[in-house]
Amino acid sequence: MTVTDSDSDAMRVFGVMALELAPGTQPGRQALPQADAGRLAGLLGRDLAALVPEARELELAFAASHFDPAEALRPGWPLHRRLDELRQRAPGRHDGPRVIAFGADAQGDAPLPLQAEADLQGGSLRVLPFLLVGDAAVAAEVAGRFEDILLDRGMAQADTALCAQESFGTRIEHARYLTLHDLAAMTALQYGNMGLEALWPVIETALLAPQDEAWLDAPPEPLLRYANGEANIALFSPDAWRERYLGDDAIQADALARRYAHFEARQRQLAAVLRAHGVPVTFVHCAGQAAEEL
């Protein structure tokens, strides 16, 4: 994925280093000390240049702090934007392409713009953002090559994976490089395996076409509408829910209550996933024509 700022001829190439953790393990630290961060960044830069030699001509910025994939897949790509802001404030901007690593401070904490959310800790896949910056033509060539090869051939070299494993104090089964499009494709597949495939088109719209509108209108799923950068989820009374989702089906009161509670839990689940991806969610009470009221 590439991004060009209107006030600069430089182009940014956004990607992540993805760490698949061994079952039952978690990193021993959120962010690496600066020396370890610099060593890992150097190995990452070497790996990327081995895959696409033109990457050597671009500046590399790397956050040696791990995140949930949803934190990297948010409208406007704020995680990478914050990394770019730190890069622009680093010394030596006019000294040619640099390799810049952002690690923990003296207290062991990540810089405030690069602190992972506590509520999204604990997953088996953690991602470390990086970006390459430079001449637009070179960056476009590198980005295109990355899109072609990283998903299939983007495994980190053995010493890079070992460095990440030792530095973060965990066991890593796989370490690889991905574009944000690759990460989105993997997340969509994971959501499909979790029964969330109906929600992915809404998230994809928020990421890639945030000015557009998207609906989830597929009973028995909750009804929701994405527009203007946020999602509205329809709240139904028990009677309105029964009319929309059950029609004239006869059902006993206790079974009806269980199904309605399950529906409400599903609404909360979808809202939590959207919020993890940085999409604001509002629950809207709908009394009549729900599609119009959203």
Domain boundary among 193, 217, 234: 193
Residues 115, 162, single domain; the answer is: yes
Residues 185, 229, single domain; the answer is: no
Q: How many domains, the chain?
A: 2
What is the DSSP code string of 211-243? TS-EEE--TTSPPEEEETTEEEEEE--HHHHHH
Mean pLDDT of the region 45-55: 97
Mean pLDDT of the region 47-57: 97
Residues 151, 239, single domain; the answer is: no
How far, in Å, CA of 268 to CA of 283, rounded? Answer: 10
Provide the pLDDT confidence category of residue 209 given band limits of 50, 70 and 90.
Answer: very high
Residues 31, 101, single domain; the answer is: yes
pLDDT tens digits along 164-186: 999 999 999 999 999 999 999 99
- What is residue 8's predicted lDDT score, i.e. its pLDDT? 60
Measured from the Cβ of residue 103, the count of other Cβ atoms closer than 10 Å reads 25
Residues 219, 162, single domain; the answer is: no
Residues 31, 142, single domain; the answer is: yes
Mean pLDDT of the region 40-63: 97
Which of 205, 212, 172, 173 minimizes the C-alpha distance to 188? 205
Mean pLDDT (the chain, rounded): 91
How far, in Å, CA of 204 to CA of 279, rounded? Answer: 11
Residues 37, 150, single domain; the answer is: yes
**When comparing pLDDT for 42 and 258, which is higher?**
42
> How much is the pTM?
0.93
For 131, list phi and psi in degrees, rounded to 5: -145, 150
Residue identified by tokens 């990193």 is: 27
Is the model's pLDDT at 145 over the cut of 80?
A: yes
Residues 32, 113, single domain; the answer is: yes
Residues 136, 261, single domain; the answer is: no
Which of 262, 242, 53 minimizes the C-alpha distance to 138? 53
Residues 27, 124, single domain; the answer is: yes
- What is residue 251's predicted lDDT score, i.e. its pLDDT? 73
Mean pLDDT of the region 50-54: 97
Q: Which domain holds residue 259?
A: 200-293
Domain boundary among 178, 193, 208: 193
Residues 129, 224, single domain; the answer is: no
Domain boundary among 127, 158, 193: 193
Residues 7, 107, single domain; the answer is: yes
